[in-house]
Amino acid sequence: MDYMAILNLVSKGITIVSALIEAEQDAEPALKAIGALVTGAKTGAVTQEDLDKTEALLDALIADFNTDLPPA
């Protein structure tokens, strides 16, 4: 289990959650992903696949957040 990768993803997730909350958007998917990662780390059950899925989700959330809004 790569603890540094887990910590980096948790840190990234916290940053994304903060941005989403500040923008009054739904942060629940990011919070759930971080929670699952932390729970997995506690039990020693985080795989590379878990890390990849979590990173993909966080990247998708930030990409969606950064998408320009349509003109008013």
pLDDT tens digits along 40-61:
999 999 999 999 999 999 999 9
Residue 21 CA to residue 8 CA, distance in Å, equals 20
Q: Which two tokens stand for residue 65?
A: 């957040």
Q: Tell me the CB-side half-sphere exposure of residue 3, using CA atoms within 13 A.
A: 3
| 10 alpha-carbon distance from chain centroid | 7
**What count of other Cβ atoms lies within 10 Å of the Cβ of residue 19?**
16
Tell me the pLDDT tens digit for each residue of 8-25. 999 999 999 999 999 889
Which residue's entry shows tokens 């890390």? 51
Full-model pTM = 0.84
